[in-house]
Amino acid sequence: MKNYCLASCLVYLLTTTVVADEGMWLFNALPKKLLADKHGFQATDAWANHVMLSSVRFNSGGSASFISSNGLVLTNHHVAADTLYKLSTPQRNIHAHGYLAKQPADELKAPDLELNQLVSIEDVTDRVNESVKPNMSAADASKARQAAMARIEQASKENSGLRSDVVTLYGGARYHLYRYKQYTDVRLVWAPEAETAFFGGDADNFEYPRFCLDVTIFRVYENDQPAKIEHFLEVNPAGARDGDLVFVSGNPGRTRRILTTDALAYQRDQRMPKMLDLLRRKEIMLQQYGLEGPEQTRRAQDELFGVQNSRKAYYGMLAGLQDPGFMKSKLSLEKLMQDKAASIDKLSSATGAWKDVASVQQQRKELASSEASLRSRIYGIAETLVLMASEDLKPSDQRLREFRDSNRQSLEQDLFSPAPLYDDLERAQMADELARLMESRGGNDELVVKMLGGQAPRERAAQLIAGTSLFDVEARKKLAQAKSAGIDSSADPLVQLARTMEPEYRRLRLKTEELDEVERQAYAKITDVKFALEGESAYPDATFTLRLAFGVVRGYEEDGKQIAPHTTLGGAFEHEAAHGKKDSWVLPASWHQAKDRIKSSAPFNFVCTADIIGGNSGSPIVDRQGKLVGIIFDGNIQSLTADFYHSEHQSRAVGVHVAALLESLTNIYGAASLTNQIGK
């Protein structure tokens, strides 16, 4: 692991203004003055609204953009991978070999994909907070707050017909209502081969220079016709050039920059090491399963990629937390904030917030081994059915969030997905999960004894998978329609297991939500101090909702060498040759067949200083005119500390240049008709 430079981070932490192109900014609170003063750019409301409405969120995790008036959507191949695997069969491996719909009738409908277009944002902070009364316990405050959020969401959905989500910002200091137009008829138009989308494989992942065509194109439909899209991105064929100001519009998953030093220490010493152990375990399990044959390799590949990607990301995040200089800088910032709070009467109550957060971390440690769920798709279906039957007996505003009426469409689309499930893979995962839970809670734990039913994990897993009917979508629908009576009388062994686990699952979830509420109230106070220091222009942590980041196309120095901001299409062939044309460094045959037609000097991948994180994959990169110049697909290894801080010294976002997209579509994949639709 390379040595991460913290210089820019430390400067920021010990001052009260943003000194770098840092931030994942709310579209209703863009840093217009900063952009004007530093970059001479006027971010008009019309420009921001157009970029916002041209942006898309994938429910499977990731970002995208509308790139034509007839519904074309551009995202990453690795964001699309979940769908590509679901559309693949042993006879037609779309993920590996790619796909091109030569005519509209050939566009393949995704089994369970939902795309969300953010159309409006409303501040509902007062409406949420007024539900929490003085002297309420944390448990009662959490229930009251969740109920208020549910009522706001339901009323919004009924009035607008749009998906409506209340989003918690600044750790609980603000609440915004996000309204989305949902697209549930989404069809695959084109995907390149995995060999070029993930060229260099795990070895090149999070590295730079890169040579990846990590892109895929879908189309959204309405009423069985291509959707008519008003706001889409036109294309700047020249793309992003060295020194250009660029913007990234996407849905960063989660950052934790507001965390106190006690919360960061919990992440460093408890949660992240535990997550790494889990990821390493799952990686080995999936690799072992894949050794059973080529079809098993195909079935496991999507999840294995995700696990390997997460494992590498967690290593990077942990490395940042393990740097003593970073923690020292955070302590200095906390002292500054605490002194500020003590000096202002209306902020004096915030001085105890840091102790409240510290107390929560100790309680989280005590809960660490008390799990009551299994990480398996088929078990997740059983668990959802069991919880849903109980939750549906309650008024919508008193249910667990995912079971509220306002979320029912998304819930059922996932629950009743016709995407293939494989009994041998589910059996392997179930056996490993049962063993893991046994190790975590102890073999004599009462729940573990009930869970195993007198069998070893492998035997129990085989029994559960052989006996369940939940691989059949119609069986799931029948159970859901039977409601609580059907669940109570079900002989399905997975349903019975989920019912056995339910009381402990609910106990732990309730306790976790209580702790979340204590933290929420504490961080709301800490945010008030932050606003007093920096003004209310400070950006909130990421929440997998739409944000705008910006930066400059710029190379960097690493190990004494200057890294150029761009790579080229011709450089991909050189990279292949330099690695002996073996392992993951083999370009697909289509590239070699088209080599003489490709403009070798065309830009391929490039880097910029924009502040991104997981979830930004697939985000469009636009220029000052709001035109498409690229698409985010990764960050370099120095950027992996972005959960906790951003530095421009070496940290870079990595994108596919728009010129590479257009060149490859036309001259490699014979898709000129598709190229002609983009941006029009």
Q: pLDDT tens across 521-571, in order?
A: 999 999 989 888 877 678 999 999 999 999 999 999 999 999 999 999 999
> What confidence tens digit (pLDDT) does each residue in 569-619 have?
999 999 999 999 999 999 999 999 999 999 999 999 999 999 999 999 999
- Contact yes or no for 540/174 (Cβ under 8 A): yes
Q: Residue 4 pLDDT > 90, yes or no?
A: no
d(CA 634, CA 545): 18
For residue 269, what is the DSSP state? I
To which residue do tokens 């020249």 refer?
238
DSSP state of 219: E
The DSSP bridge partners found for residue 65 are 55, 74
How long is the chain?
Answer: 680
Strands (E), 355-401: none
Alpha helices in 535-623 (DSSP H): 569-578, 589-593
* Sheet strands (E) in 531-588: 547-552, 556-558, 561-563, 566-568
Stated as kind and residue range, the H or E segment containing 452 is helix 446-452
> Over the stretch 449-484, which tens digit does the pLDDT of each residue have?
999 999 999 999 999 999 999 999 999 999 999 999
Predicted confidence at residue 510, as pLDDT, reads 95
> Which residue(s) pair with 664 in the sheet?
none
Mean pLDDT, range 487-514, rounded to an integer = 97
- 225-237 residue pLDDT tens: 999 999 999 999 9
* DSSP secondary structure letter of residue 401: G
Residue 15 has pLDDT above 70, yes or no: no
Cα separation, 256 vs 641, in Å, equals 10
* pLDDT tier at 17, thresholds 50, 70, 90: very low
Cβ-Cβ contacts under 8 Å for 619 (sequence gap 6 or more)? 55, 63, 64, 65, 248, 249, 250, 251, 612, 631, 632
Tokens for 98, please give them: 């790619």
Average pLDDT, stretch 177-193?
Answer: 98
Reported as a single tens digit per residue, the pLDDT across 247-263 is 999 999 999 999 999 99
Above 70 in pLDDT, residue 10? no
User: 112: which 2 tokens?
Assistant: 């369970």
Domains and CATH numbers, the chain: 7-114+184-252+542-593+607-675 (2.40.10.120), 256-362 (no CATH)
Give the three-class secondary structure for 628: strand
* pLDDT tens column, 398-448: 999 999 999 999 999 999 999 999 999 999 999 999 999 999 999 999 999
Query: Cα–Cα distances in Å, from 71 out to 192, 218, 295, 623?
Result: 19, 8, 34, 22
Beta bridge partner(s), residue 607:
654
Alpha helices in 171-293 (DSSP H): 194-197, 201-204, 261-266, 272-290
pLDDT score, position 535: 73
In the predicted structure, residue 6 carries a pLDDT above the cut 50: no
